Amino acid sequence: MRDTIPSLAIVIPCYNEQEVLPETSSRLLSLMRSYREENLVTGDSYILLIDDGSKDNTWEQIEALSRTHPEFRGLKLSRNFGHQHALLAGLHQANDVTITVSVDADLQDDLNAIREMILKYQQGAEIVYGVRDDRGSDSVFKRSSALLFYKILSWMGVESVYNHADFRLMSQITLDAFRQFGERNIYLRGMVPMLGYNSDTVYYKRTERFAGTSKYNLKKMLSLAWNGISSLSIQPLRFVTFCGFSIFSISILLSLYALYSYLFQETTMGWTSTVLPIYFLGGIQLLCIGLLGEYVAKIYKEVKQRPKYIIEKIVR
């Protein structure tokens, strides 16, 4: 149990969100005010809105909000960098608070869960994951594709929190640790569990988008999914090695068969000399590609320069 009051930054990436922003900001404002009154968070807590290169009125609205209310701060990215990078920019920016809560602009996530997250933090959790109870409000396609994706991810050895998007509380010490991750391709919900630390979960019901349409088109969704797999797993490369090894083994057997046929059975002229190199070279090529893949995977891990360990505490 902690006994100091934390300062809070609510971090919200916004891309073309002019339809929802007025509602989102007014709800967040009253939420923040009530938290302050209850002494749940300190008076210097704030709401950080990140404009991810919107083409509509989003930035103008953010500017107006920060001019009229001291609770709001804005951050404008020079172009559309995508949800994950916009969120990361916000989290890096919010380095003057003890806790951050990231949430989408569209009010799909239940803002009331933030209170519970802060309480879990006060009970000792450094990271609190918001997990939706059911995905009833999502389309069948989105639901089943997400399920398949989580299955593939866990099969590839990536630890992720099921049904958790980017609605999450992170304390400053976990963000400090996260800054040590030097990589460019980020998939936050897969990387945060790598940090370790004491974590907890808050369940909530996800609703429909309050207004506007999804800013994740199919292309962005697929790109996020592929990024999740390729940034966190080397299994696709290992798969090539596996195929190479299997085919190489089979090709050896087939080569022996071709040789045997040539020596002891009637074969068409030229069959052996054609088929033997095909089997053999095909197998050996795939095996070598897989082998190269193994080293590429090692290089890939090295260039990421991820921390080899994270120290949570030192006592003297």
**211 Cβ contact partners less than 8 Å away, ≥ 6 residues apart:** 19, 20, 23, 106
Least distance in Å: CB of 307 to Mg ion?
A: 31
Is 145 an interacting residue with respect to ligand UDP (CB under 6 A)?
Answer: no
Q: Are strands 46-51 and 72-76 parallel, antiparallel or unpaired?
A: parallel
Does residue 191 interact with ligand UDP by CB under 6 A?
no
Among 9, 11, 14, 169, binds ligand UDP (CB under 6 A): 14
- Which of 228-264 are b and which e, b meaning 16 or more Cβ less than 10 Å from the residue's Cβ? bbbbbbbbebbebbeebeebbeebeebbeebeeeeee
Q: In angstroms, what is the minimal distance from the CB of 214 to Mg ion?
A: 6
By a kind-dependent CB cut-off of 5 to 8 A, residue 82 interacts, out of Mg ion, ligand UDP, none, with: ligand UDP
Q: Which of Mg ion, ligand UDP, none sits in contact with 15, Cβ below 5 to 8 A by type?
A: ligand UDP
* Tokens 């290169």, residue located: 53
Q: Reduced to 3 states, what is the DSSP secondary structure of residue 127?
A: strand
- The residue within the footprint of ligand UDP, chosen from 18, 42, 80, 231 (CB under 6 A), is 80
Closer CB to Mg ion, 105 or 191, in the complex? 105
Q: Which of 17, 106, 126, 166 binds Mg ion (CB under 5 A)?
A: 106
| 214 contributes a contact to ligand UDP by CB under 6 A | yes
DSSP string over 263-279: HHS---TTHHHHHHHHH
Cβ 130 to ligand UDP shortest distance, Å = 13
Give min distance, CB of 251 to Mg ion, in A.
50
Name the minimum Å distance from CB 270 to ligand UDP. 59
- Spatial neighbors of 148 by CB under 8 A, at least 6 apart, are none
Site track for ligand UDP across 97-116, x = CB under 6 A: -------xxx-x--------
Closest CB to Mg ion among residues 71, 104: 104
Give the residue ranges of DSSP H helices in the chain: 21-37, 58-68, 83-93, 113-122, 140-155, 172-178, 188-191, 218-232, 235-264, 271-304
Residue selected from 7, 46, 52, 174 as contacting ligand UDP according to rule CB under 6 A: 52
Query: Taking the mean position of all CA atoms in its chain, how far away is CA 20?
Result: 24
Q: Cβ distance 166 to 128 under 8 Å?
A: no
Residue with Cβ nearer ligand UDP (82 or 244): 82
206 neighbors 138 (Cβ within 8 angstroms): yes
Provide the minimum distance between the beta carbon of 104 and Mg ion in the complex, in angstroms, as a whole number.
5
Q: How many residues bind Mg ion (CB under 5 A)?
A: 3
Q: Which two tokens stand for residue 152?
A: 């593939």
Residues lying near Mg ion in the complex (CB under 5 A): 104, 106, 108
Residues lying near ligand UDP in the complex (CB under 6 A): 13-15, 17, 52, 80, 82-83, 86, 104-106, 108, 214-216
